[in-house]
Copies of this chain bind each other. A is one copy, B any other.
Amino acid sequence: MLDNLPLLVFGAHPDDIEFGCGGVVASEARADRPVHMIVCSRGEAGTMGTPEIREAESRNAATILGANLEFIDLDGDAHLRSSAENAISLAGAIRRIRPGLVIAPSLSENQHPDHSQLGRLVRDAARLARYGGISELRPLPPHSIKSLFYYALSPEAEPRDLSAILYDVSDEETLGKWLAAMEAHSSQVRAKPYVEMQLTRARLRGLSAGIGHAIALFPADPIVIDRLEPVAAGGRCF
């Protein structure tokens, strides 16, 4: 169904995509799907690293993952808000890139406020991209994505009202690229055990499912199937 439509992934800060779902990006890119990453700040409000350093780390990580990288500055790090203007701006990006699938940070609020604000913006943008009369978006033709998934940057950010889908990232090369992409953000990984946090989460999901490592994604809407085969593997081992 996706044919070779691009995968579009959003992050609020230079390292969010890598930490939250970098293994998914690596795996899809390895399967020759075009992956486009949009980062909405330079991380300028963080404690460590300058905007220049962080942008460079992002570009390095994108190369490792095999994805394109684009910065779209909105309100600035720690200032992001879910305004109509921002939603329309991201809808323009969706019309331009015309992805089949979009991945955004989850809407759970009790963490860095930029994360859930961006999740809301992307959710709204995916919808606004379909409406033909929005003047700011002309002349880009409307575009309907196939599906929207959320990723979570910490256990607390996992949606409570959506069932998880586990993406298996146990493949050695995929896992290696994910790890390398996280460590490419060297200004950050020195400050806190971010990498251990994400690998522990992925290992716990993997153990639960009887596999190696897995990243949870949360579909915003019901998935449509016409055979049980593709969804037949259930992740409960204990």
Q: Chain A interface (Cβ within 8 Å of chain B)?
A: 1-2, 7, 24, 27-28, 31, 33, 43-48, 75, 77-81, 83-84, 87-88, 100-101, 107, 109-113, 120, 123-124, 127-128, 130-135, 142, 145-149, 153-156, 160-168, 171, 192-194, 196-197, 200-201, 203-204, 207-209, 211, 214, 216, 219-238
A94 to chain B, nearest CB (A): 14
Given A221-B234, A224-B211, A228-B28: A113 in contact with B127 (beta carbons within 8 A): yes
25 A–B pairs (Cβ distance < 8 Å), ordered by A: A46-B133, A47-B130, A75-B84, A79-B84, A79-B88, A81-B84, A101-B228, A107-B109, A147-B234, A148-B234, A155-B204, A155-B208, A160-B160, A163-B219, A165-B222, A165-B223, A192-B237, A200-B203, A200-B204, A201-B204, A204-B204, A208-B222, A221-B236, A222-B235, A223-B235
Tell me what chain A mostly uses at the interface: helix, strand, loop, or mixed: loop
Given A168-B224, A222-B164: A101 in contact with B232 (beta carbons within 8 A): yes
Are B78 and A128 closer than 8 Å at their CB atoms? yes
